[in-house]
Amino acid sequence: MKIAILPGDGIGPEIVAEAVRVLNVLGEQFEMETAPVGGAGYEAHGHPLPEATLQLAKDADAILFGAVGDWKYDTLERALRPEQAILGLRKTLGLFANFRPAILYPELAGASTLKPEVVSGLDILIIRELTGDIYFGHPRGVRTAPDGAFKGEREGFDTMRYAETEIRRIAHVAFQAALKRDKRLTSVDKANVLETGQFWRDIVTDVHRQYPAVMLDHMYVDNAAMQLVRAPKKFDVLVTGNMFGDILSDAAAMLTGSIGMLPSASLDANNKGLYEPSHGSAPDIAGKGIANPLATILSAAMMLRFSLNMPEQADRIDAAVKSVLAQGLRTADIHESGTTLVGTEAMGDAVVKALN
């Protein structure tokens, strides 16, 4: 099994190193190859997604990704910014199905900004479409407004669009995921305002006919945002487009108290995938050895489960993470009084030890 290791920027290299250590003690033979991506790709080869990095990602069975981005690249032209690396990987590799679980570990109930009774036992799954929508829609740009009340003025514009096939395939992924859980699916759109929203709703409703065992409901995105903070446990699986999924998944992540705990998977039609923590590159704490590596370690577990067909090894990692939390070990982002503050490496050590 070949794994492409793309650490990226900021805390990326530190947290990915811990996940690699964990993979290496499982007793399996993985072929791992590392390549620069994001700002690191730009520094090394003048492009956030260097040709060799993309080729490695294409050739691998799975990709373990850290994070990209740093303020120092904010002034670069868009095509050279670190974020283009992850967008390029998603699009080029066809990684259209993004799984973002938001699970609250009982030990961390106090870390949430919401009342414990609202979030304790939370276990929801956001499925975000990842290669369409306003993220990739053309035309886009800055131009002279051709019409409207501001005709002749400069305007920025993007295009929100979804093809039927794109909606159908993500709907199938979502219904199938719901079948493996509590069999409830909420589809989120803005059908009251947007054409793409109504179209999305119609197609999801049609796909539902093939999954009578799943209970489907539809929700407008503004209401979904409200319900996520009001009564998040009412959800089981949510499916939504790229833009709304970006926003709702950050909100859902924060329900759990620490975005430093949440893994994610981005899969293509054949379950080849890119696995990354849900959090970003956190340049403010990079190199300090204090970042939480657990989201990346849990992402490696998802990789074993979804792409490498090693569910037992995935279970072992999940159990090891639970055990270090039960031991009271906490990185700074989830630290509370009465628990033991540890750094990135010590947290990785503890997971490795729990695995042995």
Residues with catalytic annotation? Answer: 135, 190, 222, 246, 250
Q: Tell me the number of residues near Mg ion by CB under 5 A.
A: 1
- Among Mg ion, ligand IPM, none, partner that 86 touches (CB below 5 to 8 angstroms by kind): ligand IPM
- Of 246 and 268, which has the nearer Cβ to ligand IPM? 246
Given the rule CB under 6 A, which residues bind ligand IPM? 83, 86-87, 246
Residue 83 makes contact with Mg ion by CB under 5 A: no
Q: How far is the CB of 72 from ligand IPM (least distance, A)?
A: 16
- Of 87 and 194, which has the nearer Cβ to ligand IPM? 87
- Of 248 and 325, which has the nearer Cβ to ligand IPM? 248
Each as own residue / partner, the long-range contacts of residues 24-28 (CB below 8 Å, 24 or more positions apart, any chain) are 25/352, 25/355, 25/356, 26/313, 26/316, 26/317, 26/355, 28/1, 28/310, 28/313
CB 275 within 8 A of CB 62: yes
Q: How far is the CB of 246 from ligand IPM (least distance, A)?
A: 5
- Between the CA of residue 158 and those of 33, 132, 138, what are the distances in Å? 37, 12, 7
- Interface of this chain with Mg ion, residues 207 to 266, rule: CB under 5 A: 246
With b for 16 or more beta-carbon neighbours within 10 A and e for fewer, the 140-154 pattern comes to eeeeeeeeeeeeeee
- Of 136 and 199, which has the nearer Cβ to ligand IPM? 136
What letter represents residue 116's amino acid?
P
- Of 242 and 344, which has the nearer Cβ to ligand IPM? 242
Query: Other CB atoms closer than 10 Å to residue 268's CB: what's the count?
Result: 16
With b for 16 or more beta-carbon neighbours within 10 A and e for fewer, the 163-180 pattern comes to eeebbebbbebbbebbee
CB 38 within 8 A of CB 82: yes
- Among Mg ion, ligand IPM, none, partner that 334 touches (CB below 5 to 8 angstroms by kind): none
Residue-level length of the chain? 356
- Of 128 and 316, which has the nearer Cβ to Mg ion? 128
Q: How far is the CB of 278 from Mg ion (least distance, A)?
A: 8
- CA-closest candidate to residue 299, choices 274, 324, 336, 282: 274
Query: Three-state SS for 172?
Result: helix
Query: Other CB atoms closer than 10 Å to residue 307's CB: what's the count?
Result: 23
Q: How far is the CB of 163 from ligand IPM (least distance, A)?
A: 19
Query: Three-state SS for 219?
Result: strand
- Among Mg ion, ligand IPM, none, partner that 83 touches (CB below 5 to 8 angstroms by kind): ligand IPM
- Among ligand IPM, Mg ion, none, partner that 87 touches (CB below 5 to 8 angstroms by kind): ligand IPM
Q: How far is the CB of 317 from Mg ion (least distance, A)?
A: 24
* Position closest to ligand IPM via CB: 83
- CA-closest candidate to residue 36, choices 61, 4, 79: 4
Q: For 10-68, where are the E strands, in sequence order?
A: 31-34, 62-67
Q: How far is the CB of 140 from ligand IPM (least distance, A)?
A: 15
Binding site residues, Mg ion, CB under 5 A: 246
